[in-house]
Every structure is written in C-alpha cells, then in structure tokens.
Amino acid sequence: MKKVVLGVSASIAAYKAASIITELKKRDVDVHVIMTQHSTAFITPLTLQILSGNPVHVDVMTEPSVERINHIYLAQNTDLLLVAPATANTLGKIANGIADDMLSTVCMATPQTMPRLIAPAMNTKMYENPATQKNLATLKEYGYEEITPVTERLACGDVGIGAMAKVEDIIDIVMAKLNESPLV
C-alpha cells in the first residue's frame, strides 16, 4: 500500500483536504495528515483523523512513540509528500528552511528523492507577489513540483488565480507520481 503525507496549511481551501483524503483512500492509499496550528480553525483534526484512519499531527513537540522521532519517521516513511493547501506563509517557510512547526519540519526532513508536491491556495495578489513567486521558484529548484492554482472567484470575492487546483486534478497528479515512484 502506498503512503502519502498530506500537509494542510491555513487556507479556506483546507476543507478540501477531506475530499483529497477520501479520494486517496478509495485508491487504497494510506494517508497521514499534518496540520498547521492555524489550519485547525478551518477544519478539525478529528474530521481528518476519522477520514484518514490515522492520527493527525499538529504539534512537533508531541511524540506519540518513544521508539522514534515523529517528524523524522513521517518524512522518511512515506512515498509522497503533498502540501494542499499551501499558503504563502507555508511556502515561505519551506523555501527558506524555517522549520518551526510540524509541517515545515517534516518538509525539511523529507528526502529530496521523494516526490514532493505543493498546491498553493491564496488571494491572487498574494500568489502573484514577487516574494511568493521567488519562494515557488526556490521550491522548484529544491525538487518540489507545483500543482498550479486555478482562476476563479476566491473567498475574498476577487476573481483571479489563486484557488487551489481541483481535487480531481490533484488526485490524478498524486496517483501518477505514486505509480512512477518505487516504495520507500
């Protein structure tokens, strides 16, 4: 069984994590969820735990097992890392080596040979901001692949690029990557 670590950051699109988990589970993928603290204001860890059938990780200082270091274990015992939604803040942290929460720490510990996907979700101005674009370019240099956001009406009412890609498109990309990568 293939294993995916799904990182969920604090965007209104966080609710789509439930659909991503559901669709991956239908395809016999074992999903382990990491949430940023602020993402828990958009969707509860309990919801994602029930859907995934696995504990949801929020606090890097919580170590459920004395036999292993949780963030290292999650990073090294998976077939693919997916951050969806990926906010400007999360992209900036990962691109600049800031590891101050569970998600950014796992991203830092994930082997560069592993498929790593990011699905940005934010306001158009934030997405087009030179700092965000520079962070995306840096992440691509580091081997991350962007699942490009789409143009539509955003939560703020603006119409433009920045909405997280459609769940079905994310699933197609994840499954294609899983089918081309060997088990870790």
Annotation says 107 is catalytic: no
Which of these is catalytic: 46, 155, 156, 184?
A: 156
Residue type, 26: K
> Under DSSP, is residue 121 helix (H, G, I), strand (E, B) or coil?
coil
- Give strand pairing partners of 153: 159
Tokens linked to 86:
């990926």
Whether the CB-CB separation of 39 and 104 falls below 8 Å is answered with no
- Give dist(CA 101, CA 35) in Å, integer: 9
**Residue 112, number of CB atoms within 10 A of its CB:** 8
Q: Give the residue numbers marked as catalytic.
A: 156
